[in-house]
Structure 1
Amino acid sequence: MKKNTLFILGLAAILTMGIATGCGNSGTVDSGSTNNGEQVSVESGLISTFHEAIRNAYGDNYLPNTQLDEESFTQKYGVDKSNVKNFLAEIPMIGTFVDTLVIVETQEGKADAVEASLNEYRDVLLADTMQYPMNLAKINSSVVYRVDEYVFFIMLGAIDEENEEESAQLSFAQDEVQKAIDAINEVVNQ
């Protein structure tokens, strides 16, 4: 009887750690400043430049291949189109993959609202328990990233097929997302 109790307590502890790991990453990264703390001002019209840099960073591991139109974009992500100057939203055609890239150039002063909408979308993904297990690390490592009037939702990269441990898969997925952030920062710092 004691062995069963210990087993149940151990299992509960593992599940709690897994939930804490998934919920501990807020998924929001704000890059409104440079490495030395100065505010960054990013020119308008760079969506295709950001997109190309991110695609190049992933190479064959860039899976989104279907662009959403304005109506699909606003419905899926809950973004008010009056806050959007321009956008690009790509998802994979095959539904078993979750890879997603959203780049929004917001109207002046509307980046906070767009960022909030994309974070709400991310929260829904985190709460959805019907995901394929192979996508859980990728979903948990997704981020909403912001630079000046641009807001990004990033859920991209390869899947760690070598490690079965959740923490290793999450770390791998976070490193994959960092590739997009690095590509964005390269464009900003040019």
Structure 2
Amino acid sequence: MIESEFGLTKDMYDEIVAEAPIISFHPDRLVAVKAKKGKESEVKRAIEDALTVMKEQQIQYPVNVAKVNAGKVLEKDGYYCFMILGQTDDTSENDDDAAKFAEKQIDIGVKAFDNYFA
């Protein structure tokens, strides 16, 4: 998954943690990478490209569109994080409400990432 989905090869990072669901219906992904010195821009570009592919080129189930669109790439001190996480919203009645729900869910992960470095 690391190389095929995210374009990250072993020569690009010192450490990596990745989680994804077994069931491919769920778009949730978390990849945290400590880039090797001098490879930071390659790592960032690779995970940004992976997020672009998920948002623009892959077909998503309607219930997952807002979650995927809320996905983020985070960066701090040579660490990079690809994040599409959160509960699935099965109660919103329109796209705007679903987007707000997804943003609130992803913010939980963003705060956790930021707090790690605080």
- Give the CA deviation at 1:129: 5.0
Aligned counterpart in structure 2 of residue 147 of structure 1, from 60, 70, 76: 76
1:95 lines up with 2:5 in the alignment: no
TM-score by length of 1: 0.59
Q: Which residue of 2 aligns with 1:169?
A: 98
Contact residue 13 and residue 36 of structure 2 kept, 8 A? yes
Q: Which residue of 2 aligns with 1:82?
A: 11
1:1-190 equivalences under 5 Å are: 72-128=1-57, 130-189=59-118
- What's the Cα RMSD here? 1.2
Distance 1:129 1:113, change over 3 A: closer
After superposition, give the CA deviation of every residue in 1:80-119 in whole Å (9 maximum; x if it has no partner): 3211101011110111111110000111232221111011
Measure the CA separation in 2 of the matches of 1:116 and 1:83.
11
- Give the CA deviation at 1:130: 2.1
Q: Which shows bigger deviation, 72-81 or 100-109?
A: 72-81
| Identical counterparts, % of pairs | 27
Uncovered stretches (5+) of structure 1, i.e. residues with no partner: 1-71
Measure the CA separation in 2 of the matches of 1:111 and 1:179.
25
Report the structure, 1 or 2, having the larger helix content.
Answer: 1
After superposition, give the CA deviation of every residue in 1:24-79 in whole Å (9 maximum; x if it has no partner): xxxxxxxxxxxxxxxxxxxxxxxxxxxxxxxxxxxxxxxxxxxxxxxx31122112
The count of residues paired between Structure 1 and Structure 2 equals 118
Contact residue 102 and residue 154 of structure 1 kept, 8 A? yes
Q: Which amino acid aligns with 1:97?
A: H
Measure the CA separation in 2 of the matches of 1:185 and 1:127.
27
Contact residue 154 and residue 180 of structure 1 kept, 8 A? yes
SS in 2 for 1:139: helix
TM-score by length of 2: 0.93
SS in 1 for 2:14: strand
Greater Rg by CA: 1
Contact residue 2 and residue 9 of structure 2 kept, 8 A? no
**Regions of 4+ moved over 4 Å:** none
Uncovered stretches (5+) of structure 2, i.e. residues with no partner: none
Measure the CA separation in 1 of the matches of 2:48 and 2:71.
10
